[in-house]
Structure 1
Amino acid sequence: MFLLDYKKLNEYRSEALDSLVPVIDPHQYSYPSIFIYGHRASGKSHVMHVLMKELELSHATVSCVECVSIALLFEQVLLSFFGCDAASLLPRSPSLSDFVRVYRQQCSQSPAKQTRYIVSAVEDNVTVILLSEIAWDKFRPNTGCFEPLLLHFPDYSKSELQQILSQNVHPSYSAGFYSAYINILLGVFYSVCRDLRELRHLAALNFSKFCEPLAEGKETDTHKLWKHIEPHLKKAMQTVYLREVSSLQWEQMQQMEEEEAGALRGLSAHTHVELPYYSKFLLIAAYLASYNPARTDKRFFLKHHGKIRKTNFLKKNEKTSNHLLGPKPFPLDRLLAIFYSVVDSRVAPTASIFSQISSLVTLQLLAQVSHDDQLDAPKYKCAVSLDFICAIARTVNFDIVKYLYDFL
């Protein structure tokens, strides 16, 4: 066996390490597979990375998210163990047999003096270590398989999160003051969020607001500070896990609400909002659906529609600009139809698209106007100005004016 300094790893994961270290002995035949699981930001990847480094274990770290093909997976393993010459021996579309053949060939030239840790299965002294946020039961095949050694990383407790987050003390304030702030933050968010990364983001996001009432550097009036920050933190709970709202943008939102006192809602008045790529096209589609008559969709969004003049569309009661009348509600299916027409790449209707629509509603860029019980046909209205949508459209090189009925 070998000695290991736990402080170099993660002092809060000592219980998990007590179970893990005995089965990782590079000079003995190790357990064939180890499955480590736990929620996000519970120390799995960090502990394994430092453990492999501190013990100087021969290992290949492969991300199954980055390796989008089996060829990339095989190449990464061979590259880590034997260098680029070995990786170049793989054919263009390698099979598992090709990988095993190359691996055996390299093993004969460079025999393993200790256990190699890789993410794969070959006839060698190897241990497969799998890191996942999902329990093993979700992966177990119906045909049966060799059961891995299961090791669970539990969530950090509230006291552990308090100690970890308090280490990021602001240089302008005392450690005790920042620890008191973290205690207040966890008192609000711990019941809904245990993610260390998200809590660290929230701590950095709201600390400046927490410090606003301080006068002459006094840090003792925690009751006054709590009263000041409490409504701000409760409002920030709406953005937990919603990283589409950056730190700068969140501060701009709060400043806008304070200065205009409800005259303008949400982000409609902002000219610099950083949205995901497809959210921008969803917002563009929503604006077109709000300000274009539904019967003009064919003219704007269908190919080979023929030449249609605006006078053919006009009715007696349509002499007023749609922009003067304001946005009109539209159904979800019309929004998606326009979105798939204007976006410049093929997009499958996934849950991500629908979640981005919900995010636009949360950011008050879209307004849902149908009742909650109308789940089958929700309706929305776009809540942004023409200048705002033009600024958004420019970021994706989309000339929105060409698609607006009022500007024909």
Structure 2
Amino acid sequence: MDDANDRLPALCAAHPGHELMLNHLHTLLTTYPPPFICVHDPATPRLTCAAMKSLLSLLSQAQAPERIAYAQVNAVACFTTRLLYDTVINALAGHTPTWDSGCANWMSDVERWNENFDAFTHGIKAVHRHLSKQASGAAIRMVVAVERAERLKETMPDVIAPLTQLAELAQIDVTVIFISENHWQDLKPSLGVAPDPFYVSIEQLGKQAVLQRLTSTFTSVSSAFASSNSSATEPLPAHAYHPALAPLYAHFVSTLYSVCAPFTQHPDELTYISAARWPGFVQPILDAHAEQNIELSAPSEDVRMRLTRLFTPSLTAALEALYPRTTDALAWAILNAPDPDLLARPHEPGSLTKSRPGSPSKRARDAPDDRVDVVSASLRALPRMSRFLLVASFLASTNPAKTDMRMFGRVSEGKGRKRKGGGTRKPRATAGTAKIPQRLLGPTPFPLDRMLAILGILLEEYDADVRPDKPQYTVPGEYTEMEISRVGVYASIMELTSIRLLHRTSPVDKLDGPPMFKSAISYESAMTLARDLGVPLNDLMWDPA
């Protein structure tokens, strides 16, 4: 393990904030590891999983008397016992299912290892014997790491206790590691059937560790640019991630952390905001470099302070727009691009508190119409069925449920022609307090079946002329009934919920009654979608005023 010990400092430097965990686990796994380890990280579990994977990969490649074979699986992806067993056994055996082999698992032609936990235990033993033969009798130590282990309690609660006792059941040298954002007390089975683990708690990353991760992102992007322009004779072209700008980037991320730390300290979120603001922050320097045609170098302290003073207010605007994902980083960066002559303007006293016309902070505050355009463009990029769903959800959240029959129902007289809308209803004048329109009060929850009913009416009224003909559907409305009952509609609803265009108000595990949702789009966004789809939204709203 000497080579692993030599490479451990570099591994710790690549994962700042996880040095203590890496040193502890390295010592345990190379000496006398416990059969069950639980790693608890409530803040950054994804980064902990990446550090764990790097450590296990390092140990598996080390030259030592004991060879370490590992399998790191995700409990979200392995949502059934068969998937979990097959993934673990394939990873331990170093087997990758391929299309040419029929995606067969390891030794599937001999025996199936995924029928139950007993078969899985026999599969673990078979892999151990196989690896021992390959290693010429050398000792084999196995490590099974489970990411997002809290999901096991929801999908496979009966597997938790046997997994924690895998070494005792299989009678081989194997260690199981749970990586979870929940405490072990919330994961362990009842009645004390699982042993207590060796517990490793990860503290929240400090400021220095977060800044090291952010600067390492600059280094990796800069190296990627350098490798793509690997010319030994020509100088590296100027770009936002030029190595000469690394000191400026360190000051930039320090300012970014100071602004965003009260709201979020997650390195991924700060990296996303930095990717949106850094190109605009450094663009005045790149423009000046292009005009003077000199070698790119770090700016002076006066220029750095001017840029920090000008762009610090826009960091708050970036946090407000990008942290809740109301827009994407590229659209925000284009919308808040700095003026070309930003550094050429004379220094104005008092500019710390007063924004000049055209500065990033003022443009970020004075461009609501541009923001609406960006949001509308992203909504227009959704599939047609998703746009109809958003309009139906807005109507279901805005109109009272008792008005659906009057707004969308058929007329009883005439030739059975469908009513398009039903007209708006003006509230009766009363001597009391004026009634506030529902769209100004905010959306109200509605059941799923009500939204699907409104969706069916919208499709029948405003989509029948543009969708392809289906001669097999002869009964009126049959085509629409088939469309709204497709799995793709429910998948679109879940996708809209995941991107926060729909809010689910009922618990996921609630079984009694239909799921409840609430619209998350504004009146302007709903009007834009309805206009594109040819739906008269104001005519379908009970009180559009």
Give the TM-score category using the shorter length: 0.7 to 0.9
Q: Is the alpha carbon distance of 1:142 and 1:345 closer, same or farther for their aligned partners in structure 2, counting shifts above 3 Å? A: same
> SS at 1:175's partner residue?
helix
- Aligned ranges for residues 34-183 of structure 1 at < 5 Å? 34-38=37-41, 39-40=43-44, 43-56=47-60, 57-82=68-93, 83=95, 84-87=105-108, 91=112, 94-108=115-129, 110-111=131-132, 113-119=139-145, 120=163, 121=166, 122-123=169-170, 124-144=172-192, 145-167=194-216, 168=218, 170-172=240-242, 173-183=244-254
Q: 2:23 aligns with which of 18, 21, 34?
A: 18
Q: State the structure with more CA Rg.
A: 2
Residue 321 of structure 1 aligns with which residue?
A: none
1:1-56 CA distances to partner (integer Å, 9 max, x unpaired)?
Answer: 6424223312233322232222112xx55210111122216742222222222222
- Aligned ranges for residues 1-400 of structure 1 at < 5 Å? 2=2, 3-11=5-13, 12=16, 13-25=18-30, 29-38=32-41, 39-40=43-44, 43-56=47-60, 57-82=68-93, 83=95, 84-87=105-108, 91=112, 94-108=115-129, 110-111=131-132, 113-119=139-145, 120=163, 121=166, 122-123=169-170, 124-144=172-192, 145-167=194-216, 168=218, 170-172=240-242, 173-212=244-283, 214=285, 216-217=288-289, 218-220=299-301, 221-239=303-321, 241-243=323-325, 245-254=327-336, 258=363, 261=366, 264=369, 266-268=371-373, 271-273=376-378, 280=387, 283-288=390-395, 297-298=404-405, 307-310=416-419, 313=422, 331-334=443-446, 339-341=451-453, 342=455, 344-346=488-490, 353=497, 356-357=500-501, 382-384=523-525, 386-389=527-530, 400=533
Q: Is the alpha carbon distance of 1:390 and 1:77 closer, same or farther for their aligned partners in structure 2, counting shifts above 3 Å? A: farther
Percent of aligned pairs with the same residue?
A: 18
Give 5+ residue unaligned stretches, structure 1: 318-325, 360-376, 392-399
- 1:272 is matched by which residue type in structure 2? A
- Tell me the CA shift for residue 146 of structure 1: 0.7
1:277-301 CA distances to partner (integer Å, 9 max, x unpaired)?
Answer: 8985663225545998977744887
- Tell me the CA shift for residue 267 of structure 1: 2.0
Structure scoring higher RCO (CA < 8 A, sep ≥ 6) equals 1
- 1:51 is matched by which residue type in structure 2? L
For 1:382 and 1:316, the matched residues in 2 are separated by 18
- 1:117 is matched by which residue type in structure 2? V
For 1:316 and 1:259, the matched residues in 2 are separated by 39
77-86 or 140-149, which moves further after superposition? 77-86
338-347 or 11-20, which moves further after superposition? 338-347
For 1:60 and 1:238, the matched residues in 2 are separated by 40
- Tell me the CA shift for residue 64 of structure 1: 0.7
For 1:246 and 1:288, the matched residues in 2 are separated by 27
- 2:190 is matched by which residue type in structure 1? N
1:94-140 CA distances to partner (integer Å, 9 max, x unpaired)?
Answer: 22122223333454555482211125424121000111222222213
Give 5+ residue unaligned stretches, structure 2: 61-67, 96-104, 133-137, 146-162, 220-239, 290-298, 338-359, 427-436, 456-483, 504-517, 541-545
With the length of structure 2 as denominator, give the TM-score of the two structures.
0.56
Quote the RMSD (CA, aligned, Å).
4.5
Q: 1:35, 1:150 within 8 Å by CA — same for their partners in 2?
A: yes
> SS at 1:156's partner residue?
coil
Residue 461 of structure 2 aligns with which residue?
A: none
For 1:288 and 1:74, the matched residues in 2 are separated by 47
Q: 2:398, 2:444 within 8 Å by CA — same for their partners in 1?
A: no
Q: Is the alpha carbon distance of 1:337 and 1:268 closer, same or farther for their aligned partners in structure 2, counting shifts above 3 Å? A: farther
For 1:301 and 1:291, the matched residues in 2 are separated by 14
